[in-house]
Structure 1
């Protein structure tokens, strides 16, 4: 029994129902249906984007790697940090807002291949998205069996904003690192979980959600061990720390990537909280959801009440799914990570159009649907997945050929 299972942070029976082949070949054969289905969904969405407007001058490759945040990442990969752009409103947009892991990988791939930095970013995202799909399969299979694992990977590919997984953005890379870190927690590999969490923290600010999941899981396990052993006082705490060195090592590793980059930006700007100022210049930050509430209120009271009502319904549906995740007793690390991803997305200030993208890595929210479909008839599964893929393909095409960034 794992530390998390003993702490009650895993649902009863979790991890015992699925088979876990030991040889690499057997594991690859087990996950192959999930990877093939995932790749098929992504190819369909890319094909629909390419055919959406034959006269479209932007082109799929340019849409994926040559616009918006992708340009900033490529610039960092090619020239390092130091680029700033003065916006029309007078704000100074600095590339210090972008975390370094994706540009580092782009630079590495471009150095050993004929690809440009932007094209290297596409390759990194393609490989990372498959790694993320594998991790989602592993989590779903461990908790609810192989069919749930396959469906979790497929549903993640078919979310409306899934097209971002094919772009030179950080979502695919971050989700891969986060999901494998959470899987490591489920299997009591604390140092692995901490190292992957640190890497996720070098990818984007939401790496804090992964580190929090590691810390919460360790706290639950330590409290269970203390209560079970009857050890109290300072001596008991010291004994627990001695007996759980790997766990505590994972906890200490988990936030280092995020903290290291934020401290580096502070040193570079000469301000301890320099990263927050950089984000503020971009119009980003954390306002507790006030900006989002105002955005919805303006539509409800202005000329577009239908859009306002649709946003209210979307938020209500999102919160309902969160309740479902709690009621189905998802493991503690998945609840903490998924819950914090929702909080960070809904309570972040800034451009509203990015909120759906900020939710993309929150894959635990798809587990209730994956488990329900795993118990459904094949015809129902085919119908639901087909509608989801068609919706994702159309939404992605409209989204990326529009005027604003995702």
Structure 2
């Protein structure tokens, strides 16, 4: 009897593990797996944020972002979320604020309207504060982003890569952004949804989601490039199928070609629209660009914008010639990584988007502490064997991500902004 009882107890962990594995692999795991990962990651992120908030308030530590009426909700809406609050409550200024020398200073025109608009609707419906409503909207969108990312990688690769990629996304160094009053989670939900729609050839949906994403965060022009890549790939495949004779299978009807082109043009136009809107409302040419450049002053002084120079400008200012060499090495390493054979499993659309988005960051973005946040749209690249090749390797990267998230929370809440 004793041996039987011991055998039964020993088998329980195995049975529980098997039940969990079977549950994750069930028919509806396209929902359950990413939602379970999202829920577990929210426990981790909330514990990290809550611990830091409790320690700071208990000991009277000063935060990097000043808040009136401090609470956990306002703590979760730190940094530039105050601009989203201004937009939600008062809209955009018709006159750009300037310093005594006439230079534009940071203002709400750097932030796009969809996230604060949705938050404003929730405030009007429920009477909640901006901080609470922003947290709710961001958290719901974060859950949706996990689901859509999982389904996107599942559509182009396999369930193993989809699970690990979603886990890296939710638990990683920037995982806390899936629940703070920032537009990131909403943008990622729309962007991943547009890429999934593109893979599934639902071009009208790509256009709709792409336009919405364009008014949530900058960077949607890379989606237009992905549409162009898709057009070329399908066009070439169709020509080869014709040349192969009756056995050719690829069909690319003209109505679909027109749909792809139309979706690409609509997304590109939406991606370029906000600077035009800012100029039209404020009456100041270059209003959006001047606003964006106002954030550069603290890092590199007042500058005129020139494409493809910001990374070299930042590195040269802070590290001298060694910084220029470092940028060249980083770009070379990135190019090498993007050419890896195992990344081809993502398909030309997702890989084409990732390449275009990274090129966009190099062309226009001044690299600083917000770079990890801005790299979140290329999360599908984490499906590479570099990160998911073996269970031990993937587990190691997951642990590293959680540890880096703890470091990021401390640094960003007490020393800087994301």
TM-score, normalised via structure 1 length: 0.78
1:184-219 CA-to-partner distances (Å, cap 9, x unmatched) read: 111111111121111111112212112322233133
**360, 379, 399: which is aligned to 1:363?**
379
Checking the alignment, whether the CA contact within 8 Å between 1:37 and 1:154 is kept in structure 2 is no
The residue aligned with 1:293 is 312
**RMSD of the alignment, in Å?**
3.4
Contact 2:153 2:346 in 1 (8 A): no
Whole-Å Cα distance in 2 between the matches of residues 285 and 340 of structure 1? 24
User: How far, CA to CA, are the matches of 1:250 and 1:20 in structure 2?
Assistant: 35
Quote the residue 2:347 is aligned against.
Answer: 331
* Residue-pair matches, total: 370
- Cα 1:339/1:49, change in 2 over 3 Å: farther
Residue among 84, 91, 98 paired with 1:73: 84
Work out the CA distance in 2 between the residues paired with 1:286 and 1:50. Answer: 38
Segments ≥4 residues shifted beyond 6 Å: 307-313
Greater mean alpha carbon deviation, residues 105-114 or residues 259-268: 259-268
| Stretches of structure 1 lacking an aligned partner (at least 5 in a row) | 1-18, 231-238
Larger deviation, residues 54-63 vs 208-217: 54-63
Distance 1:392 1:30, change over 3 A: closer
Contact 1:325 1:367 in 2 (8 A): no
Task: State the Cα distance separating 1:99 from its structure 2 match.
Answer: 1.2
Cα distance in 2 for residues equivalent to 1:117 and 1:325: 46
Secondary structure in structure 2 of the residue aligned to 1:361: helix
Match of 1:344 among 360, 372, 376: 360
2:73 pairs, out of 37, 61, 84, with: 61
Query: In structure 2, what is the Cα distance between the partners aligned to 1:109 and 1:150?
Result: 32
Moved more, 354-363 or 97-106: 354-363
1:388 to 385, 392, 401: 401
Q: Give 2:31's aligned residue.
A: 28
SS at match of 1:196: helix
Normalization by structure 2: what TM-score? 0.76
SS at 2:126 equivalent: coil
Task: Choose from 108, 118, 122 the match for 1:105.
Answer: 118
C-alpha displacement at 1:389, in angstroms? 0.6
Aligned twin of 2:390: 376
Following the alignment from structure 1 to structure 2, what is the Cα–Cα distance between the partners of residues 26 and 352? 37
Report the counterpart of residue 50 of structure 1 in structure 2: 53
Identify if the C-alpha distance between structure 1 residues 269 and 119 changes in structure 2 by more than 3 Å, giving closer, same or farther: same
Corresponding residue of 2:249: none
Determine if contact 2:387/2:394 at 8 Å carries over to the other structure.
Answer: yes
Provide closer, same or farther for how the CA distance between residues 113 and 313 of structure 1 changes in structure 2, counting only shifts above 3 A: farther
Residues 312 and 327 in structure 2, CA contact (< 8 A), matched pair in contact too: no
Give the 3 Å change call, closer, same or farther, for CA 381–96 of structure 1 in structure 2.
Answer: closer
Q: Conserved in 1, the CA contact under 8 Å of 2:162 and 2:383?
A: no
Question: Which whole-Å deviations, capped at 9, do the CAs of 1:9-55 have from their partners, x for residues lacking one?
Answer: xxxxxxxxxx995xxx6643354443334434433443453356442
Query: Structure 1 residues 285, 181: CA separation in 2 closer, same or farther (over 3 Å shift)?
Result: farther
Secondary structure in structure 2 of the residue aligned to 1:250 = helix
